[in-house]
Amino acid sequence: MAKNKIRIEVEPIGKRLYLDRPANGLEALLEAGIGIKSVCGGKGTCGKCRIIVLDAADTAVSGQEKKVLLPEEISKGVRLACQQVFDRDLNIYIPASSLSEEQKLQVSGTGREVEPDPVCQKYWVEVSPATLEDVTPDFDRIAGLLEKNYKVKADNIDFKALSLLPQTLRDNGWKVTVSLRGTEIINVEGGNQAGHNYGVAIDLGTTKIAALLVDLSTGATLGSRGIMNPQISYGEDVMSRLNFALAGGDSLKKIQEVVTSGIDQAIGKLCQDHQIDRKQINEITLVANTAMHHLFLGLPVRQLSLSPFVSLTGQALSVKAWQLGINIAPGGYVYLLPPIAGFVGSDHLAMVLAADIDQLKGNIIGIDIGTNTEIALKTSSGITSVSTASGPAFEGAHIRYGMRAAPGAIERVAIDSATCQPSIQTIGDKEPSGICGSGILDCIAELRKANLIDTRGKFVQDSNCIFKDEQEGMQYLLSGKPGRDYVSIGQKDIVEIQLAKGAMRTGIDILLDNAQIDFTQIDKIIIAGAFGSYIDPKNVINIGMFPQVDLGKIVQVGNAAGVGAKQVLVSSKYRKKAENLAKKINYLELTTHPKFNEYFVNSLGFPEPEEIF
């Protein structure tokens, strides 16, 4: 099909373009619907359309590129898309910093679309009314018709659906739509509602909750909603929430109800926005870390909070939504994928499923960056996973000017090594009011690259770009003026990031040690999580979270856990696949590993200049 055409592989978006004839790089990418930034409209002056040509050996460099790009960038294959002609087959990589916000959202949550085959199906039936001659019970009448017309078996009915049944049948002239889950009737509605079969997939995170409203007949996502986890008022991290739940009295009930009612409201809002009757939601799937899973269900959590940190169950669960205070179809269920271990939850399983980690060839690392970062390593001997306490620093917490990714947050930072001055980009091009995770990561990587901090993360004192704050110590100024409104990164912030990235690097190193392979043998690194889709992978390497690696090996898949939750909502086949996969993932406890301390201490530093991109 693509014979004689020019083929351009675009990573990390995973798009392949075929060009009939040579074309300007920027135009070809925009033409293909890829939202690459082009602030100067292609004049080659703004430098926003940076791409990395992965096989750059014979890629020409224009005079304009020499003006805008640093020599080190050029030698690493960085070019300006607007100055390049795509005239031969190429592999290019578009850094997150060159993508528009809209494109970043599209990049997040990529995953295989699955053939709809939901556990809940709807059937339209016209039942013959009861008469003195035919006094067959209502349920038996429906079950008989389902068998006769659709060859499906119904052998029980939800109690709530049963109590509503007589009225529904008689008010609607005995013409009704039946929702069947396996062999259980979970809802009976008046009229033909067979085309209105909906579900909600939920990724319940420690900090955020993402909910997707899905049409179960087509598999299409109709809408999504993200809310903060309201349990945050009971503690920022998992341990403080568990401690709250263990405080006695009705504390477990309180912390459960706050999250179930938050989810119930989010579903209500989604239905309202899309004009859907919430009673037509037949199923919810939910993935979460193990503590959030237990707290959502109101299960005892003492065993989770004490060594050896054991999950109550390793099985998938189906719980009636009404028992959890969630209002959907009368007999509708919440289906929860199985947790893997105390600190590796079903969200990790969903990520492994959605990113196809078990199916990929070679040695694969899958990493889902969050308050707890779970990492999976797949080799020829199977999949092993660990959990690292990376903390919320990359979400802006514990960082002096940290904030979430909202308008006004500094999301990109570049530092001119010659003048040590920063260039910043804020979300929505607003006045800077703080710095979010991707900005913090950029800033620290650039500070190291410009040699403003040393390999131990200490500010190099003789720079005139560093100032001393009376209370907070050494600071690098990003915007404003010292003493007035300003945003800066200080020594304490750097330490927070060192601890976070050190935890992740330790997890990777111990997994590699356990599998007896080294990082050069890794074929692909999949970065998942909402934060993971906003970061610049080059800077992940420049702060030493990963050792230096070919950027073409890094793929950002966004909220893969949410994608996995949707896959098991839409497809019974994927549900089985996920349940089987759960049995194959081995859990490795990091903290008792004999080399944990050694690896952790070694992971805190920053790379030497020759290891920086």
Residue (25 or 437) nearer to ligand FES, CB: 25
DSSP structure class, residue 289 = -
- Of 44 and 490, which CB lies nearer to ligand FES in the complex structure? 44
Residue with tokens 């990395």: 52
Report, in Å, the least distance between residue 583 CB and ligand FES.
50
Single out the residue of 352, 348, 611, 381 nearest to residue 512, CA to CA: 381
C-beta of 66 vs 456, nearer to ligand FES? 66
Count of residues near ligand FES by CB under 6 A: 13
Q: Which x/- pattern over 275-314 shows residues binding ligand FES (rule: CB under 6 A)?
A: ----------------------------------------
Distance in Å, CB of 88 to ligand FES, minimum: 20
Residue 38, interface with ligand FES (CB under 6 A)? yes
User: Which residues 208-227 are close enough to bind ligand FES by CB under 6 A?
Assistant: none
Q: Is 74 left (phi over 0), alpha (psi -120 to 50) or beta?
A: alpha
Query: Taking the complex as a whole, how short is the minimal distance between the CB of residue 47 and ligand FES, in angstroms?
Result: 5
558 touching ligand FES, by CB under 6 A:
no
Is 74 one of the binding residues for ligand FES (CB under 6 A)?
no
Judged by CB, which is closer to ligand FES: 103, or 285? 103
Q: How far is the CB of 443 from ligand FES (least distance, A)?
A: 23
Minimum distance between the CB of residue 225 and ligand FES, rounded to whole angstroms?
Answer: 35
**46 lines the binding site for ligand FES (CB under 6 A):** yes
Contact indicator for 269, 289 with CB cutoff of 8 Å: no
Position closest to ligand FES via CB: 82
Determine phi and psi for 203, rounding to 5 degrees.
-110, 105
For 202, the 3-state DSSP assignment is strand
Question: If we measure between CA atoms, which residue out of 534, 373, 368, 505 comes closest to residue 439?
Answer: 534
Find residue 52's DSSP bridge partners. Answer: 78, 93
Of 45 and 433, CB closest to ligand FES: 45
State yes or no: cis peptide before 308, omega within 30 of 0: yes
Q: Which of 505, 531, 502 is nearest to 519 (CA)?
A: 505
Q: Which is nearer to ligand FES, 70 or 549 (CB)?
A: 70
User: Nearest distance from residue 412's CB to ligand FES, in Å?
Assistant: 15
* Residue 387 to residue 397: CA distance in whole angstroms: 20
Using DSSP, state whether 34 is helix, strand or coil: coil
Beta carbon nearer to ligand FES, 45 or 91: 45
Q: Is the CA virtual torsion 195, 226, 368, 376 positive or negative?
A: negative
Tell whether residue 82 is a contact of ligand FES (CB under 6 A): yes
Return the structure tokens found at 416.
Answer: 């001119």
List alpha helices for 313-464, DSSP H: 346-354, 437-449
**Which residue of 12, 35, 42, 529 would you call a contact of ligand FES, by CB under 6 A?**
42
Residue 29 or 267 having the CB closest to ligand FES: 29
49 touching ligand FES, by CB under 6 A:
yes
Please name the residue ranges forming H helices in 199-278. Answer: 238-245, 251-273
Shortest separation between residue 44's beta carbon and ligand FES, angstroms: 5
Quote the least distance from Cβ 418 to ligand FES, whole Å.
20
Of the pair 82, 213, the CB lying nearest ligand FES is at 82
48 binds ligand FES (CB under 6 A): yes
Nearest to ligand FES of 44, 342 (CB atom): 44
Q: What H or E segment, with its residue span, contains residue 143?
A: helix 138-150
How many C-beta neighbours within 10 Å does residue 96 have? 22
Closest CB 68 distance from ligand FES, rounded Å: 6
Is residue 44 close enough to count as binding ligand FES by CB under 6 A? Answer: yes
Point out which span in 34-42, 69-77, 482-490, 551-559 binds ligand FES (CB under 6 A).
Answer: 34-42
Least CB distance to ligand FES at residue 24 (A): 10
d(CA 593, CA 604): 18
Report how far apart the first and last C-alpha atoms of the chain are (Å, whole number).
Answer: 37
Taking the C-alpha atoms of residue 164 and residue 201, their distance in angstroms, rounded to an integer, is: 27
Stretch that binds ligand FES, among 41-49, 175-183, 258-266, 400-408 (CB under 6 A): 41-49
| 132 class by beta-carbon count within 10 Å (0-12 exposed, 13-18 middle, 19+ buried) | exposed
Is residue 162 a contact point for ligand FES (CB under 6 A)? no
Q: Does 39 bind ligand FES (CB under 6 A)?
A: yes
Nearer to ligand FES, 10 or 420 (CB): 10
3-state secondary structure of 458: coil
Name which of 28 and 568 has its Cβ closer to ligand FES: 28
C-alpha 403, offset from chain centre: 19
Give yes or no for a contact between 40 and 33, defined as CB atoms under 8 angstroms apart.
no
Token pair recorded at residue 512: 């590699």
Report if residue 78 touches ligand FES, rule: CB under 6 A.
Answer: no
Query: Could you tell me the smallest distance in angstroms from the CB atom of residue 10 to ligand FES?
Result: 16
Q: Can you name the residues that pair with 544 across neighbouring β-strands?
A: none
Contact (CB, 8 A) for 595 and 516: no
- Helix H, strand E, coil C: the string for 519-554 is HHHCCEEEEECCHHHCCCHHHHHHCCCCCCCCHHHE
Stretch that binds ligand FES, among 10-18, 43-51, 205-213, 499-507 (CB under 6 A): 43-51
Nearer to ligand FES, 93 or 139 (CB): 93
Rounded CA gap, 488 and 466, in Å? 10
80 binds ligand FES (CB under 6 A): yes
Q: Which residues bind ligand FES (CB under 6 A)?
A: 26, 38-40, 42, 44-49, 80, 82
